[in-house]
Amino acid sequence: MPAPRRSNRKEDILQALAAMLQSNNGQRITTAALAEKVGVSEAALYRHFPSKARMFEGLIEFIEDTLLSRINGILDEHKDTASRTELILQLILVFAERNPGICRILTGDALQGEQERLQERVAQLFEKLETQLKQCLRERKLREGKGFSIDEGELANLLLASVEGKLSQFVRSGFTRLPTQHWANQWAQLQTALFS
């Protein structure tokens, strides 16, 4: 008979932190409260993560790995620029919607009063997302022989800003105004304006 699977304590801590970010809207999360939620001592938390900032960095790494690997999959599977762009933007919206606590990290809301380097890590993540979008849009000329009436970098920035705005609305509404709400119609309008 196989031995029972031991849980991954680091993963448990990060999942508990994400859950607390969702339920403790606007309140700072203490390591004491997190330890209680996980069912361990504060000392046990620090055996897995040297600081609360490292716990947040663990969540940021999870976000980055998840989004960038899925974007690479989209780019491998789809060749049409409009489809690629739509799927990348939709991925970010759906990911945030399914992970409200993590969405608070993406908007910076959960990082207020935490170490500045955490805000910088999130900013770097958005720069990577914007670079992926820009590259996707630039390839349209090569793949489809068509360009845009606006610089691809400016367009990538505009599209990502739209997504970021929807994430901010989601957090500000206490997670009631879903990021994907109205997205299908909004994307249809954007696609007509940009890709026709």
Question: φ and ψ at 3, to 5 degrees?
Answer: -65, 145
The second-level CATH assignment, the architecture, of 52-195 is Orthogonal Bundle (1.10)
The proportion of the chain whose per-residue pLDDT surpasses 70, expressed as a percent, equals: 95
Residue 196's pLDDT is what?
79
109-160 residue pLDDT tens: 888 888 899 999 999 999 999 999 999 999 998 888 898 889 999 999 999 9
- Helix (H) or strand (E) segment spanning residue 85: helix 81-98
Closest CA to 95 of 121, 123, 71, 122: 71
DSSP state of 182: T
Per-residue pLDDT band at 5 (split at 50, 70, 90): very low
**Length of the chain in terms of residues written:** 196
88 compared with 44, residue with greater pLDDT? 88
Q: Given a cut of 50, is residue 4 above it in pLDDT?
A: no
Please tell me which residue, 154 or 4, carries the higher pLDDT value: 154
DSSP 3-17: PPPPP-HHHHHHHHH
pLDDT of residue 26: 67
pLDDT for res 149:
87
pLDDT value at position 57?
94
Residue 192's pLDDT band, with cuts at 50, 70 and 90, is: very high
Does pTM top 0.85 for this prediction?
A: yes
Is the pLDDT assigned to residue 3 strictly greater than 70? no
**CA dist., res. 93 & res. 135, Å (int):** 20
